[in-house]
Amino acid sequence: MSRVLMRGNEAIAEAAIRAGVRCYFCYPITPQGELVEYMARELPKRGGVFLQAESEIAAINMVYGAAAAGVRAMTSSSSPGISLKQEGISYLAMARLPCVIVNMMRGGPGLGNIAPSQGDYFQATKGGGHGDYHLIVLAPSTVPEAAELVMLAFELSDRYRVPAMVLADGMIGQMMEPVELPEPVEPEDIPPRPWAVTGAKGRPKNVITSFDLDPEGLKRMNLVLQETYREIEGNEVRWEEVETADAEILLVAYGTVGRIAKTVVRLAREEGIKAGLLRPITLWPFPYEQIRELASRIPVVLTVELSAGQMWEDVRLAVGDRAETPFYGELGGVVPTPGRILEEVRKYAR
């Protein structure tokens, strides 16, 4: 194991290379520029293909092609670029193509700015593209966790044939932390893809498509997706709990805010407030049951996001009437200090 001081963007790139990514297609956009640059320098040296595409749309369609041809493929972008990719993502989902899409979220909507934000939660977890589909959505809160979740993203994506998104933000992308780099995946450990378009030699032809004019046929294709999603919901929910055993106020936060929230819990406890944190790691599948359970005995569940309240809707869905569900959010790329969040905690704590 090697331990290296790395910028988040670069750790994500290095982890992807170690996961055996064979094709990486991208378009530059701040704040993930370093990810692109790292891949440009490193991926060709280690047996992969790097290509800067003419747009984010072209890049996601190149991922579609490479994934169809049976290799581990990836793209990265930030919010406006991810918007462009939505049609391609919908195609990837229905065609059941494994791949990894990294979104380093920035301020929005529109051109927004390049500061960190969590405004793409709806886009990531509720579709974003058209049709009934889901992505596996993994939300790291630190640089080391980002590297770990990139590896996991490739693994889960291959296992279920569902595209996986690593949803981070500009803060994680830019900051530098020591990272234990994961062991590279052996090529033989990458699952085979008998369905891929590799040339119809000695087998019937393979067709990668998301199209069926016959409604019954399209329904069948959709049911395959739905069954897969139920399986993922049963097996792959991930979250972290901090001091929830005796908590009287529960924070729910992910990503960068999840990290800040850990400090808030500590500061609150020092003041005698029994705060706890549930930090979702999979945003889809979302830890509804875990939050519901905690809400049965914790009277206040405070959601904190860098948005107008997107994950907050899922928290309210989980909690129902069991507890109060206040919200504190910041917009525009403003990142709250632990002190600012603590003020909110004080307001609601019994």
Partner 1 sequence: MLVETGIPAGYRKVFGRPRALSDRKFTYCPGCHHGIITRLVAEAIDELGIVERTVGISPVGCAVFLDQFFKCDFVQAAHGRACAVATGIKRARPDLIVFTYQGDGDLASIGAAETVHAANRGENITVIFVNNAVYGMTGGEMAPTTLPGQRTTTTPWGRDPRVHGYPLKISEMLAQLDGPAYITRQAVFDAKHVLLARKAIIKAFRNQIEGKGFSLVEVLAACPTNLHLSPVEASRWVAEEATKFFPLGDLKDAG
Instruction: Quote the least distance from Cβ 296 to partner 1, whole Å.
Output: 45
For residues 54 and 246, which CB has a smaller minimum distance to partner 1 in the complex? 54
**Contact positions vs partner 1 (CB under 8 A):** 22-23, 25, 49, 51, 53-55, 57-59, 61-71, 73, 87-88, 91, 95, 197-202, 205-211
Instruction: Quote the least distance from Cβ 224 to partner 1, whole Å.
Output: 16
Instruction: Quote the least distance from Cβ 27 to partner 1, whole Å.
Output: 11
> Which of 141, 123, 172, 148 lies closest to 284, judged by CA?
123
> Which of 113, 169, 178 lies closest to 141, judged by CA?
169
Which amino acid does the sequence have at 8?
G
Judged by DSSP in three states, 163 sits in coil
- 137 and 101 in contact (C-beta within 8 Å)? no
Say which residue the tokens 């830019």 belong to: 174
Beta bridge partners of 26: 52
Instruction: Quote the least distance from Cβ 75 to partner 1, whole Å.
Output: 10
Instruction: Quote the least distance from Cβ 201 to partner 1, whole Å.
Output: 4
Q: What is the distance between the alpha carbons of residues 8 and 105, in angstroms, rounded to a whole number? A: 13
Pairing of strands 239-242, 23-26: unpaired
- 12 and 154 in contact (C-beta within 8 Å)? no
For residues 200 and 331, which CB has a smaller minimum distance to partner 1 in the complex? 200
Q: What is the distance between the alpha carbons of residues 210 and 57, in angstroms, rounded to a whole number? A: 17
For residues 127 and 309, which CB has a smaller minimum distance to partner 1 in the complex? 127
Q: What is the distance between the alpha carbons of residues 103 and 75, in angstroms, rounded to a whole number? A: 9
Question: What Å distances lie between residue 72 and 48, 118, 127, 130, 197, CA to CA?
Answer: 10, 27, 23, 24, 14
For residues 196 and 335, which CB has a smaller minimum distance to partner 1 in the complex? 196
Instruction: Quote the least distance from Cβ 273 to partner 1, whole Å.
Output: 52
Q: What is the distance between the alpha carbons of residues 157 and 281, in angstroms, rounded to a whole number? A: 16
Instruction: Quote the least distance from Cβ 191 to partner 1, whole Å.
Output: 16
Q: What is the distance between the alpha carbons of residues 73 and 93, in angstroms, rounded to a whole number? A: 14
For residues 63 and 345, which CB has a smaller minimum distance to partner 1 in the complex? 63
Per-residue 3-state assignment (H helix, E strand, C coil) for 98-139: CCEEEEEEECCCCCCCCCECCCCHHHHHCCCCCCCCCCEEEC
For residues 86 and 228, which CB has a smaller minimum distance to partner 1 in the complex? 86
Instruction: Quote the least distance from Cβ 198 to partner 1, whole Å.
Output: 7
For residues 164 and 315, which CB has a smaller minimum distance to partner 1 in the complex? 164
For residues 5 and 224, which CB has a smaller minimum distance to partner 1 in the complex? 224
Instruction: Quote the least distance from Cβ 87 to partner 1, whole Å.
Output: 6
Give the DSSP per-residue string, 14-62.
Answer: HHHHHTT--EEEE---TT-HHHHHHHHHHGGGGT-EEEE-SSHHHHHHH
For residues 206 and 222, which CB has a smaller minimum distance to partner 1 in the complex? 206
- 300 and 273 in contact (C-beta within 8 Å)? no
